Amino acid sequence: MGKPTGFIEYQRQLPADRSPAERIKDWDEFHLHFHTEAESQRQGARCMECGIPFCQTGKILPGGASGCPVNNLIPEWNDMIYRGLWREAYERLRMTNNFPEFTGRVCPAPCEGSCTLGLHEPPVTIKLNEVTVIDKAYEEGWVKATPPAERTGKKVAVVGSGPSGLACADQLNKVGHHVTVFERADRVGGLLMYGIPNMKLDKQQVVERRIQVMKDEGVLFVTGVEIGKTLSTEQLRKEFDAVVLCAGATQGRDLPVAGRDLKGIHLAMEFLTANTKSLLDSKLSDGNYISAKDKHVIVIGGGDTGTDCVGTSMRHGCKTVTQLEIMPRLPDQRAPTNPWPEWPMVFKMDYGQEEAAAIFGSDPRDYLVSTKKFVGDENGQVKEIHTIGVRWEKIADGRMNLVEIEGSERVLAADLVLLAMGFTGPEKTLIDDLKLDIDPRGNVKADYGRYTTNLNGVFAAGDMRRGQSLVVWAINEGRQAARECDRFLMGTTTLP
């Protein structure tokens, strides 16, 4: 695939992002495209005829995920990009991925981590190629609403409008079922709308554009309705022939240390959600958000959520930002215990850290740090965070034990603390109301590949079933849950 000698002739190149000093002044997307098609074609040409394309085979290996969970036909559309066959590339892309405009922007690209070229050279720019194809498809008018020719008469309720819910609804609608998506927020999109900041994924130009296509194809979206509260679960099951639960894993991990109840300490999603809602409602003029302006900001936790908190704080105009991580800094190169084609656990500077380093002069991350307590002022507002250095030691049974380092205590100024330590699983209200079985991690119990719960006609998919994961895995599960739901309704299915 691609040009036979392309990987030898051409180097990996990405378009330059908008400069940190420029992009923190607004909430627009910071990634840019190439100026010419020829530049994209050269990157498509680098896809080598490797024989076994590990990039397109999503697998869970002992050391982590490998390849594309939705099994994108990556070598095929890379070859078409190289040959300038853009329409054909789009047709191949949409066969496996309902929303390449989302994954092409926010996916960490496990496909690139398992690219065969990546064994010896920088991998193919798969993520960039994907978003280039879909954005061109929109520009050329190739993305059009295609309602099903016939309806089955079956009604399906999808609870949650994040990536798994949208993918499930899209697939079920394509085979003719009447699909209603229930979302408790005021806008459709779930994690895509309120969990990911606008500078990574534009809400109006990208998310709402796709939602409108789905509406035009016949999917009904109902916002402001929380199942189990606004609408009873009994009524839901009575009105619909099947229900697919895609409510996500939204329960944030807290930090139960002294001073946690002080003002100015928030879960990351409280901060990010309020900011995006205010931005969309009023461009932040209503003041209905948690502002980091002129504050010493402490972000506890790494990962994408922590980075998003850093980037958002930078755009507010924070005085300083420090990101505390309890884990050690990742190595610059793959460790021997992290071989290809596993996802490479290596050090990188994400957009938020780049922005903080550009403005404040250094990477905001501080590794191997544990929080001991928060201290407030006379008004109950947080003003300090007390920390201690730690190290990880392997104990007799092979587990890693956290050990505090004596004499490494520090006190940091803190006007705003954001807890970005991941998620513990789905909220339990809906689960308890339906009396659903759960797995040992507190997620809805539904076998991967089948997605059936202990209730007949009730399915579960996405983070609600698997726990916190990637957008692309959520799309994978939403598609597969739709297939099993269709099989339940019709006795057979044509869905992939």
Q: pLDDT tens across 65-94, in order?
A: 789 999 999 999 999 999 999 999 999 999
Residue 397's pLDDT is what? 87
Residue 315's pLDDT is what? 98
Residue 488's pLDDT is what? 98
Using CA of residue 292, residue 294, residue 298, residue 302, what is the dihedral sign?
positive
Residue 231 has phi, psi (to 5 degrees) of -130, 125
CA atoms of 142 and 139, how far apart (whole Å): 8
Tokens of 177: 């079922």
* Beta strand pairing call for 400-404 and 382-394: antiparallel
**Contact status, residue 211 vs residue 250, Cβ threshold 8 Å:** no
**Contact status, residue 320 vs residue 360, Cβ threshold 8 Å:** yes
Tokens of 18: 């908008």
Residue 22's pLDDT is what? 98
Residue 57, C-beta contacts closer than 8 angstroms, at least 6 positions apart: 66, 67, 68, 71, 114
Domains and their CATH numbers in the chain: 6-140 (1.10.1060.10), 155-250+424-490 (3.50.50.60), 254-421 (3.50.50.60)
Tokens of 171: 């697939």
394-403 mean pLDDT: 90
Cis peptide leading into residue 15 (ω within 30°): no
Q: Residue 411 pairs with which residues in a beta bridge?
A: 386
**Contact status, residue 375 vs residue 260, Cβ threshold 8 Å:** no
pLDDT tens-place string over residues 451-482: 999 999 999 999 999 999 999 999 999 999 99
Residue 396's pLDDT is what? 87
121 secondary structure, DSSP code: S
What would you report as the CA-atom Rg of the chain, rounded to the nearest whole angstrom? 23
Q: Is 101 helix (H, G, I), strand (E, B) or coil?
A: helix
User: H-helix or E-strand containing 267?
Assistant: strand 265-267
CA atoms within 13 A of residue 225's CA, in its CB half-sphere:
18
CA atoms of 261 and 274, how far apart (whole Å): 20
CA atoms of 309 and 197, how far apart (whole Å): 9
* Beta strand pairing call for 416-419 and 296-300: parallel
Burial class of residue 324 in the structure, from the number of CB atoms within 10 Å of its CB (0-12 exposed, 13-18 middle, 19+ buried): buried
102-108 mean pLDDT: 97
Tokens of 124: 């193919």
Q: In which residue are the tokens 């392997």 written?
A: 394
Residue 64's pLDDT is what? 72
Mean pLDDT of all residues belonging to the chain: 96
- Give start and end residues of each alpha helix (H) in 255-369: 268-282, 303-316, 351-360
Does residue 60 carry a pLDDT above 90? no
Tell me if the pTM is above 0.85. Answer: yes
52-67 mean pLDDT: 86
N-to-C CA span, the chain: 24
Q: In which residue are the tokens 């994209």 written?
A: 40
**Contact status, residue 286 vs residue 310, Cβ threshold 8 Å:** no
229-251 mean pLDDT: 96
145-151 mean pLDDT: 97
pLDDT tens-place string over residues 421-447: 999 999 999 999 999 999 999 999 999
Does residue 264 carry a pLDDT above 70? yes
Residue among 305, 353, 309 at smallest CA distance from 329:
353
Q: What is the dihedral of CA 232, 233, 234, 236, to 10 degrees?
A: 90
> What is the full DSSP assignment across 88-99?
HHHHHHHHH-S-
